[in-house]
């Protein structure tokens, strides 16, 4: 079981938090802070596993994380999950984000956290891995987006125009977590079909 | 229309959307909180608007704010509104918000049931998908119960996208609603072989998760999983399955044997590290489960260790970490294989990665020997000094202590060294493990008698330097050590060189700043020291003034402790103060008191095992739950308070403070008992004999002559100056060993010389000395901890009773009983009845229902016996002739069916497993794998014949039980629903809309109740008692002619009411269902008693023939009112009114089915107009839903269609319209009489309010 999925940046600002067990808002923030604290002080070239913090479940659980440019992707899992498998899953997740946002960067996650949630929902459901095939995930996400667009129809047009205008004066959209640039050694998990 | 929408959206487009909100927050870095609070105000405004798009936008923003830590639960109702939007876009936003912030105690969740059900059956697969995803995050027991059937249907949906989600969510449903596991399991099992790999993977996922918690119930699936393992190419699935096998092998060693070969093949062939790693892990689990002695074991272990070494040596830190992790599992059973890689592991201790160092530390535990312990600990101590961050240092500290104390200090050769290590550890800053060090100090000082003198000296130094430990507030954890130091110095004060100095140190004013429990120990042990000091001083010829001065010191210093806020300290201090004052008086009269004072603390303390108290067996014939004296009422709480306080005082180290004194038992008796016990132990092969010396210790109270002879090795000085001493010990130890070796060599040489030429070959004895050669510096006698006589060995001490997975420990092999074919309904009422407080005090009356049950149980027992015999026979036959056994199959399962929990091996499938495990050859290639896989198939095919024939049989044997139990369950479901409405009236928040699902208005609904006053006792004041009855009548879907009446009995007087009997005069049309054998005029006994002020609910079943007309039944309730001195019979008459509404059952209906029904033309119409109804439309609907058991099919503005069904299957449709306080209801039903009556009742409902 996956207990929680957290994405935060190098400064500990949460970009996505998904808890599969209920905690109060305060505890959630505390968990995020604690996790950030644990993860951020680790060097780049140490292992990606960490004995869980005090807050989520304690010793039963592990934190498995990856650091991509400005973002940390942290999965808190219990002993039933394969450590390397989850690392692979994080990779699939990031690659999927990359496909869906076309060169994903932190800003995409900041402004479209709802979309990230929707993508995640196609991969993990209620703490269990639902789908690991990237093409399948993208197909489903696209189909749903298409539905959304068709529902908006003409009514959605003005809103889209406005948001396009608003985005125009967005300060440079720095593409700073272009994951293509940073080569990550993925333990060979060749056939996650 | 379209234009209007466009116009609306143009108005909206300058509303803030999520992106604007995020941008705004980023632009207000300084006053973020203030900005967000204005945003929240805006959102609140937006939520008040009617436009669902605006609401959805607001909810979307709230989801973002929730992530930032803002509580958004206040908007829960709006989230539900957005969820129920018909547009996917908004629905998705709503479900996302719900999944982020709903949880079990969110009240509005109960409003979502129907909406979710509707979404689950939506023709659009993404509506269904989004609902499933959302539900997986916030499913509650109620939702699980209500939706389990719908989700089960979805498991066979045509679209794999839905199937896999439905399969996956079943796990959550099982957790919340364990009763659904058995009925759903066959379908779940089917999904293991689903053509779609995603669905298959989901099913594997769910079963693995279930099996991890209760593996033994899933053993029978092993052949199926084995087949999957040999055929699947999906690494995710393979990993899951292999992990599952790891959990199963400990239960079935034969499975392990079968697994080893394919796993080894996988290890050799796979290129995926994740898979390789899991294979190695499972092979390790297999090896652990197998008893040693298999020839090719060592090969497998070697393979694993070798592969792990490769992982550990890899430059990838992740692999290194995992390699160490797996290595530690091997360590437990095959330490030798791991020890050969010691170099590698020690190397990992220096790794820069903390996770890796921690794993390496774990491994060290198994690497130590007598020889290298000191060396390893020295290395660890270096790490302790270097370590940054308290967590790692604390971890090191615990590891050092673990390593040293493991298996009863087996590897420690020099305890002085160990004590000095402990003392060194006390200098760690900010450690949390002070108590751990303290307990080690105590343990060693108590159990290793030879070390006491040394320990006491060290502890005295510690006490003297207490300011070093307490000076810094950060070091609070470490002052626990002083607890141990004070106790050791006090208890073994005879070893102190300067007891007076220590006494002085223990009474310094600074001590008063220590935590209370430590002060208490200080005070108590100061008294012990005082006794020692006195004895020393009086023995000496010196004048008595010195002794008096000592007393004066105590008298001066103790008042400080008498003022302590800690009760324990206060009590001890004032007690001892008075004692000392008295002693001083005696001293002034020149009376020798030392003897008496010492006698206060005489006696040896023996260590007691931590669980000893728990393990004392209860003597035969002693019932601990029986009252010794009848308890006076009202004193319980006080008692408890005292108890808990007592606990708090003695909780700390109780093992060490319990002085086992055997004063009551005289010596002879004791000796006799000892003899008996010894004989018993000698004959008992399971008794682990302690070393003879420890037995002796037990025998003697004082045991002075049994203090083991210390062979003081002169090379080890008793006192080493300076604080960090452990290193010196290491050096000394080395020297000592060298010398020993040299001595031995000398001896050997002597022998050799004596023996002549024979020993020549062994010359140059430079090889590593073996373990046995190292003689401990002290002949230490490690006292074993005491356990009570006849202690029961039990391993279930550590089980967590709150584990939710316990409820899922359900036998899945047992064929489904008739009553289980449909999803059962959670039973909750019977439990409540059982919990009725009356039953604690008085003998439970024999009530009809439990009677039935016990009868059934008896029957089951008999059956079990029978089936056991048969099973044995059956098994034998199966072994002899597998095909022949098939002929018996159809009979057998019927027997096992009634067995409550048959052992796994008894079911047909488990015997398949036996067969699979024992006979089938291990396939060496996939083709061969087909053979064993198909054999169990045929066998289970034969077994499958059985369940088909069995329902009939079951009905024949006990038609009554099965039928009524199904009814009961259904009924309970209904009841629970009702009850909830009832309970939530106080909340007042439109919970009634549960049934209609259209919740767009925000105004709270007025409270409603279906419970109506049935009868009330008229002579309240006269008798000072009153029983008041309220009732609710509900139809029962299960049987066309049954109605369940729930009656709440409430005792309003202040006496007990018991022996309630409920009776009704049957009419031609309706009859009260009485148990078999009861006459038509007998009453039903109400299965509980009522203490004052308590209410409880009972249900009665009526059979009704004609439901078209409302009817009234007359009845009486008789009961006994029991006061303190007398009891009186009372009776209460009532009239039970069966309205036509009570024959209706809330049945959801979907709009397409509804329109078909109307089109069919079978229904006859009727209509009704209500004038002057001035309540909001949704209230009106809720009222109809609630009071008349309808459900809303569709609602458009001020017009709604509703549906209900009678218990005899009549359809009833309503079209409700409202305009200007006028409500018109057009109704259609296939039974006009019923319809007319229902409409009349609806009219009545609205005329009343």
More confident residue, B581 or B1218: B581
C-alpha B301/C-alpha B304 separation (Å) is 5
Residue A184 in any domain: the answer is: no
Provide the mean pLDDT of chain B: 71
pLDDT of residue B410 exceeding 90, the answer is no
For B126, the closest chain A residue by CA position comes to: A144
Distance between A147 CA and the closest CA of chain B, angstroms: 8
C-alpha B988/C-alpha B79 separation (Å) is 19
E strand or H helix at B386: helix B373-386
User: Would you state the structure tokens that stand for residue B276, as one six-digit string?
Assistant: 């390789």
Whats the size of chain B, residue-wise?
1249
Distance between A103 CA and the closest CA of chain B, angstroms: 19
| Pairing of β B1042-1051 and β B1127-1138 | unpaired
Residues of A whose CB is below 8 A from B201: 129, 132
| pLDDT attached to residue B94 | 93
Considering only the beta carbons, identify the residue of B165, B243, B358 that sits closest to A80. B243
Residues of B whose CB is below 8 A from A111: 18-19, 22-23
Among B267-271, B491-495, B579-583, B669-673, which is the least confidently predicted range? B669-673
C-alpha B694/C-alpha B683 separation (Å) is 19
C-alpha B327/C-alpha B311 separation (Å) is 10
Q: Which of residues 260-279 of B touch A (CB under 8 A)?
A: 271-274, 277-278
Distance between A25 CA and the closest CA of chain B, angstroms: 5
More confident residue, B611 or B102: B102
C-alpha B1065/C-alpha B1045 separation (Å) is 15
Residues of A whose CB is below 8 A from B353: 42-43, 46-47
For A121, the closest chain B residue by CA position comes to: B133
In a mutational test of the B interface, the residue from A130, A163, A171, A186 whose CB has the highest number of chain B CBs within 10 Å is A130
C-alpha B840/C-alpha B515 separation (Å) is 42
The tens digit of pLDDT for each residue in B865-891 reads: 445 444 444 444 444 444 433 334 343
What is the percent of chain B where pLDDT is above 90? 10
Q: Within 10 A of B1209 (CB to CB), how many other CB atoms are there?
A: 11
pLDDT of residue B254 exceeding 90, the answer is no
pLDDT of residue A165 exceeding 80, the answer is no
More confident residue, B162 or B926: B162
Cα distances (Å, whole numbers) of residue B704 to B324, B443, B707, B709, B780:
49, 20, 6, 11, 16
C-alpha B1114/C-alpha B1066 separation (Å) is 8
Give this prediction's pTM.
0.56
How many Cα atoms occupy the beta-carbon half-sphere of B301 within 13 Å? Answer: 22
The tens digit of pLDDT for each residue in B1099-1140 reads: 777 777 777 788 888 888 888 887 777 778 888 887 777 787
Among A80-89, B125-134, B295-304, B757-766, which is the least confidently predicted range? B757-766
More confident residue, B489 or B297: B489
What is the rounded average pLDDT of the residues A136-148?
92
Whats the size of chain A, residue-wise?
193
C-alpha B515/C-alpha A181 separation (Å) is 58
What is the rounded average pLDDT of the residues B260-279?
87
C-alpha B92/C-alpha B998 separation (Å) is 18
User: Would you state the structure tokens that stand for residue B1164, as one six-digit string?
Assistant: 């006859």
Residues B916/B936, Cβ–Cβ less than 8 Å: yes
Distance between B805 CA and the closest CA of chain A, angstroms: 13
For B243, the closest chain A residue by CA position comes to: A80
CATH number at residue A32: 3.30.450.60
C-alpha B715/C-alpha B736 separation (Å) is 7
Inspect the interface and report whether the beta carbons of A128 and B87 lie closer than 8 Å. Answer: no
Chain centroid offset of residue B11 CA? 54
| pLDDT attached to residue B127 | 92
User: Would you state the structure tokens that stand for residue A85, as one six-digit string?
Assistant: 């498998």
pLDDT of residue A188 exceeding 50, the answer is no
What is the percent of chain A where pLDDT is above 90? 36
Q: What b/e string do you get for A35-72 counting C-beta neighbours within 10 Å, with b at 16 or more?
A: bbebbeebeeebbbbbbbbebbbeeebbbbbbbbbbbb
Residues of A whose CB is below 8 A from B9: 155-156, 158-159
Inspect the interface and report whether the beta carbons of B205 and A128 lie closer than 8 Å. Answer: yes
Q: Which of residues 41-70 of A touch B (CB under 8 A)?
A: 42-43, 45-51
Considering only the beta carbons, identify the residue of A80, A136, A192 that sits closest to B235. A192
Residues B951/B893, Cβ–Cβ less than 8 Å: no
Residue A11 in any domain: the answer is: yes
Number of domains in chain A: 1
The tens digit of pLDDT for each residue in B55-90 reads: 999 999 999 999 998 988 899 999 999 999 989 999
Residue A185 in any domain: the answer is: no
Q: How confident is residue B199, by pLDDT bands cut at 50, 70 and 90?
A: very high
Cα distances (Å, whole numbers) of residue B290 to B297, B900, B1147:
9, 31, 56
pLDDT of residue A106 exceeding 70, the answer is yes
Q: Which residues have a Cβ under 8 Å from the Cβ of B194 and sit 6 or more positions away? A: B160, B163, B200, B203
Q: What are phi and psi of B1065, to 5 degrees?
A: -80, 115
| pLDDT attached to residue A17 | 93
| pLDDT attached to residue A143 | 93
For B14, the closest chain A residue by CA position comes to: A162
Distance between B1138 CA and the closest CA of chain A, angstroms: 45
CB pairs under 8 A between A and B: 197
Residue A175 in any domain: the answer is: no
Q: How confident is residue A8, by pLDDT bands cut at 50, 70 and 90?
A: very high
| pLDDT attached to residue B782 | 61
E strand or H helix at A72: strand A71-77
| pLDDT attached to residue B742 | 67
| pLDDT attached to residue A86 | 92
The tens digit of pLDDT for each residue in B1012-1026 reads: 666 666 433 333 333
| pLDDT attached to residue B801 | 56
| pLDDT attached to residue B1238 | 83
Among A150-159, B319-328, B510-519, which is the least confidently predicted range? A150-159
| pLDDT attached to residue B160 | 92
Considering only the beta carbons, identify the residue of A47, A113, A190 that sits closest to B353. A47
What is the rounded average pLDDT of the residues B424-446?
83
Inspect the interface and report whether the beta carbons of B318 and A83 lie closer than 8 Å. Answer: yes
What is the rounded average pLDDT of the residues B108-129?
90
What is the percent of chain B where pLDDT is above 70? 65
Residue A155 in any domain: the answer is: no
Residues B793/B618, Cβ–Cβ less than 8 Å: no
pLDDT of residue B129 exceeding 90, the answer is yes
Q: Write out the E strands in B967-1086.
A: 1012-1016, 1027-1035, 1042-1051, 1056-1064, 1070-1072, 1084-1085
Residue A145 in contact with partner chain B when CB distance is under 8 A: no
Q: Which residues have a Cβ under 8 Å from the Cβ of B100 and sit 6 or more positions away? A: A18, B63, B66, B67, B137
Chain centroid offset of residue B852 CA? 33
Q: How confident is residue B1073, by pLDDT bands cut at 50, 70 and 90?
A: confident
Residues of A whose CB is below 8 A from B236: 85, 129, 132, 192
Domain that holds residue A9: 2-148
What is the rounded average pLDDT of the residues B704-724?
41
Distance between B523 CA and the closest CA of chain A, angstroms: 37
What is the rounded average pLDDT of the residues B610-626?
78
The tens digit of pLDDT for each residue in B986-1002 reads: 333 333 333 333 333 33
Inspect the interface and report whether the beta carbons of A84 and B12 lie closer than 8 Å. Answer: no
| pLDDT attached to residue B307 | 86
Residue A12 in any domain: the answer is: yes
Q: DSSP character for B387?
A: -
Q: Which of residues 1044-1103 of B touch A (CB under 8 A)?
A: none
The tens digit of pLDDT for each residue in B142-178 reads: 999 999 999 999 999 999 999 999 999 999 999 999 9
| pLDDT attached to residue B718 | 38
Inspect the interface and report whether the beta carbons of A85 and B239 lie closer than 8 Å. Answer: yes
Distance between A166 CA and the closest CA of chain B, angstroms: 8
For A66, the closest chain B residue by CA position comes to: B318
Residues of A whose CB is below 8 A from B4: none
Inspect the interface and report whether the beta carbons of A125 and B165 lie closer than 8 Å. Answer: yes
Residues B566/B743, Cβ–Cβ less than 8 Å: no
The tens digit of pLDDT for each residue in B529-562 reads: 888 888 887 766 556 677 888 888 888 888 888 8
Residue A160 in any domain: the answer is: no
Q: Which residues have a Cβ under 8 Å from the Cβ of B960 and sit 6 or more positions away? A: B1076
Distance between B429 CA and the closest CA of chain A, angstroms: 21
Q: How confident is residue B12, by pLDDT bands cut at 50, 70 and 90?
A: low
Residue A125 in any domain: the answer is: yes
Inspect the interface and report whether the beta carbons of B136 and A125 lie closer than 8 Å. Answer: yes
Inspect the interface and report whether the beta carbons of A25 and B277 lie closer than 8 Å. Answer: no
What is the rounded average pLDDT of the residues B121-125?
90
The tens digit of pLDDT for each residue in B1034-1070 reads: 444 445 577 777 777 777 777 777 777 888 888 777 7
Distance between A148 CA and the closest CA of chain B, angstroms: 5
Residue B588 in contact with partner chain A when CB distance is under 8 A: no
pLDDT of residue B640 exceeding 60, the answer is no
Closest alpha carbon to B1018 in B925, B1130, B857, B873:
B1130
In a mutational test of the A interface, the residue from B1, B9, B130, B208 whose CB has the highest number of chain A CBs within 10 Å is B9
Q: How confident is residue B14, by pLDDT bands cut at 50, 70 and 90?
A: low
How many Cα atoms occupy the beta-carbon half-sphere of B171 within 13 Å? Answer: 27
């Amino acid at each position: 079981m996956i207990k929680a999925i957290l994405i935060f940046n190098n400064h500990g600002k949460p970009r996505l938090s998904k808890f599969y067990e209920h905690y109060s808002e305060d505890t959630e923030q505390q968990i995020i802070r604690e996790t950030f604290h644990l993860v951020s002080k680790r060097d780049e070239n140490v292992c990606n596993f960490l004995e869980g913090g005090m807050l989520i479940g304690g010793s039963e659980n592990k934190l498995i994380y990856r650091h991509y440019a400005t973002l940390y992707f942290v999965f808190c899992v219990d002993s039933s999950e394969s450590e390397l498998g989850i690392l692979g899953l994080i990779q699939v997740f990031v690659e999927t984000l990359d496909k869906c946002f076309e060169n994903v960067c932190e800003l995409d996650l900041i402004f479209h956290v709802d979309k990230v949630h929707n993508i995640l929902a196609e991969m993990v459901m209620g703490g269990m891995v639902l789908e690991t095939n990237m093409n399948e995930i993208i197909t489903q996400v696209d189909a749903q987006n298409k539905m959304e667009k068709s529902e908006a129809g003409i009514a959605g047009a003005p809103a889209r125009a406005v948001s396009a205008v608003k985005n125009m004066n967005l300060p440079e959209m720095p593409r700073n977590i272009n994951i293509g640039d940073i080569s990550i050694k993925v333990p060979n998990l060749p056939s996650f079909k | 229309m379209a234009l209007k929408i466009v116009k609306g959206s143009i108005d909206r487009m300058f509303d803030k959307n999520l992106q604007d909100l995020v941008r705004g927050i980023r632009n207000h870095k300084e006053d973020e909180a203030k900005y967000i609070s204005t945003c929240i105000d805006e959102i609140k405004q937006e939520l008040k608007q009617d436009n669902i798009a605006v609401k959805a936008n607001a909810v979307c923003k709230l989801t973002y704010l929730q992530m930032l830590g803002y509580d958004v639960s206040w908007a829960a109702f709006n989230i539900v509104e957005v969820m129920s939007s018909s547009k996917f876009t908004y629905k998705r936003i709503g479900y996302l918000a719900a999944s982020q912030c709903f949880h079990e105690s969110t009240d509005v969740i109960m409003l979502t049931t129907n909406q979710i059900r509707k979404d689950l059956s939506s023709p659009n697969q993404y509506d269904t998908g989004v609902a499933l995803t959302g539900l997986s995050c916030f499913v509650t027991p109620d939702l699980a119960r209500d939706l389990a059937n719908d989700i089960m249907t979805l498991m066979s949906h045509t679209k794999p996208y839905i199937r896999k989600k439905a399969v996956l969510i079943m796990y959550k449903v099982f957790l919340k609603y364990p009763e659904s596991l058995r009925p759903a399991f066959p379908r779940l099992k089917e999904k293991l072989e689903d053509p779609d790999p995603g669905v298959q993977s989901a099913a594997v996922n769910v079963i693995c998760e279930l099996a991890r918690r209760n593996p033994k119930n899933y053993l029978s699936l092993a052949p199926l999983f084995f087949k999957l393992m040999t055929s699947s190419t999906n690494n995710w699935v393979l990993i899951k399955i292999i992990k599952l096998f790891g959990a199963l092998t400990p239960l079935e060693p034969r499975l392990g044997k079968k697994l080893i070969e394919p796993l080894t093949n996988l290890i050799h062939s796979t290129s995926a590290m994740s898979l390789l790693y899991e294979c190695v892990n499972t092979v390790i689990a297999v090896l652990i489960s197998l008893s040693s002695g298999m020839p090719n074991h060592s090969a497998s272990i070697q393979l694993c260790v070798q592969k792990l070494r490769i992982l550990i040596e890899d430059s990838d830190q992740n692999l290194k970490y995992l390699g160490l992790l797996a290595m530690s599992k091997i360590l437990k059973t095959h330490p030798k294989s791991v020890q050969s890689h010691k170099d590698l592991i020690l190397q990992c201790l220096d790794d820069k990665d903390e996770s890796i160092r921690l794993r390496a530390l774990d491994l060290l535990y198994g690497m130590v020997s007598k020889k290298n312990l000191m060396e390893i600990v020295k290395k660890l101590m270096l790490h302790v000094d270097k370590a940054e961050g308290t967590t790692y240092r604390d971890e090191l500290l615990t590891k050092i202590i673990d390593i040293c104390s493991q298996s009863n200090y087996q590897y420690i050769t020099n305890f002085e060294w160990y004590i000095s290590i402990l003392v060194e550890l006390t200098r760690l800053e900010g450690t949390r493990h002070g108590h751990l060090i303290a307990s080690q100090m105590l343990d060693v000082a108590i159990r290793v008698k030879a070390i006491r003198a040394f320990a006491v000296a060290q502890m005295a130094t510690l006490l003297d330097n207490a300011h070093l430990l307490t000076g810094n507030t950060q070091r609070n954890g470490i002052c626990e050590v002083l607890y141990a130091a004070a106790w050791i110095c006090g208890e073994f004060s005879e070893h102190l060189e300067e007891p007076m100095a220590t006494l002085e140190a223990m009474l310094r004013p600074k001590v008063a700043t220590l935590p209370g429990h430590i002060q208490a120990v200080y005070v108590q042990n100061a008294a012990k020291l005082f006794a020692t000091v006195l004895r020393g001083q009086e023995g000496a010829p010196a004048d008595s003034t010195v002794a008096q001065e000592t007393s004066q010191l105590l008298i001066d210093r103790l008042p400080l402790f008498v003022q302590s806020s800690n009760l324990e300290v206060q009590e001890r201090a004032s007690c001892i103060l008075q004692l000392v004052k008295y002693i001083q008086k005696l001293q002034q009269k020149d009376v020798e008191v030392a003897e008496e004072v010492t006698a206060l603390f005489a006696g040896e303390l023996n260590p007691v095992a931590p669980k000893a108290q728990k393990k004392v067996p209860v003597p035969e014939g002693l019932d601990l739950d029986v009252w010794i004296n009848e308890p006076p009422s009202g004193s319980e709480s006080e008692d408890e308070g005292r108890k808990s306080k007592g606990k708090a005082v003695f909780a700390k180290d109780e093992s060490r403070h319990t002085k086992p004194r055997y004063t009551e038992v005289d010596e002879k008796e004791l000796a006799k008992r000892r003899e008996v016990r010894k004989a018993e132990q000698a004959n008992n092969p399971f008794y682990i004999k302690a070393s003879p010396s420890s037995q002796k210790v037990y025998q003697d109270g004082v045991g002075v002559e049994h203090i083991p002879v210390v062979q003081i090795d002169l090379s080890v000085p008793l006192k080493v100056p300076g604080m960090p001493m452990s290193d010196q010990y290491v050096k000394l130890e080395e020297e000592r060993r060298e010398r020993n070796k040299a001595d031995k060599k000398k001896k050997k040489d002597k022998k050799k010389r004596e023996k002549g030429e024979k020993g020549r070959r062994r010359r140059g004895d430079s090889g590593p000395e073996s373990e046995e050669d190292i003689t401990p510096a002290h002949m230490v006698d490690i006292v074993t901890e005491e356990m009570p006589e006849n202690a029961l060995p039990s391993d279930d001490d550590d089980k967590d009773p709150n584990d939710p997975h316990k409820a899922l420990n359900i036998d899945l092999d047992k064929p489904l009983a008739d009553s289980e074919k449909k999803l059962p309904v959670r039973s909750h009422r019977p439990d409540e009845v059982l919990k009725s407080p009356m039953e604690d005090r008085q003998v439970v009356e024999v009530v009809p229902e439990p009677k039935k049950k016990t009868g059934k149980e008896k029957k089951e027992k008999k059956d079990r016996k029978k089936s056991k015999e048969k099973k044995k026979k059956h098994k034998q036959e199966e072994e002899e002739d597998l095909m022949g056994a098939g002929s018996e199959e159809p009979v057998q399962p019927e027997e096992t069916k009634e067995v409550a929990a048959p052992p796994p091996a008894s079911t047909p499938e488990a015997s398949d497993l036996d067969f699979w495990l024992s006979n089938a050859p291990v396939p060496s290639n996939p083709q061969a794998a087909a053979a064993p896989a198909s054999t169990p198939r045929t066998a289970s095919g034969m077994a499958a014949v059985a369940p088909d024939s069995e329902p009939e049989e079951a009905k024949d044997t006990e038609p009554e039980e099965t039928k009524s139990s199904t009814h009961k369950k259904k009924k309970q479901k209904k009841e629970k629903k009702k009850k909830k409405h009832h309970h939530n009236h106080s909340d007042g928040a439109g919970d009634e809309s549960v049934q209609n699902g259209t919740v767009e208005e925000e105004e709270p609904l007025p409270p409603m109740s279906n419970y109506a006053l049935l009868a009330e006792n008229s002579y309240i004041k006269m008798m000072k008692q009153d029983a008041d009855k309220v009732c609710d009548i509900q139809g029962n879907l299960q049987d066309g002619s049954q109605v369940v009446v729930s009656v709440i009995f409430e005792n309003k007087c202040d006496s007990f009411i018991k022996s309630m009997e409920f009776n009704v005069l049957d009419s031609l049309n309706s009859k009260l269902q009485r148990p078999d054998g009861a006459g038509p005029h007998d009453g039903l006994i109400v299965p509980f008693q009522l203490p004052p002020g308590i209410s409880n609910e009972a249900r009665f079943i009526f059979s009704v023939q004609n439901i078209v007309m409302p009817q009234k039944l007359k009845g009486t309730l008789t009961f006994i009112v029991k006061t303190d001195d007398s009891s009186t019979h009372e009776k209460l008459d009532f009239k039970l009114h069966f309205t036509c509404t009570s024959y209706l059952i809330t049945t959801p209906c979907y709009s397409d089915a509804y329109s078909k029904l109307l089109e069919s033309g079978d229904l006859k119409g009727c209509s009704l107009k209500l004038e002057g109804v001035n309540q909001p439309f949704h209230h009106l609907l809720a009222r109809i839903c609630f009071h008349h058991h309808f459900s809303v099919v569709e609602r458009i503005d001020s017009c709604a269609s509703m549906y209900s069904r009678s218990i005899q299957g009549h359809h009833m449709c309503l079209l409700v319209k409202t305009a200007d306080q006028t409500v018109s209801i057009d109704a259609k039903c296939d039974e006009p009489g019923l319809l007319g009556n229902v409409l009349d009742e609806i009219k009545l409902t609205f005329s009343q309010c």
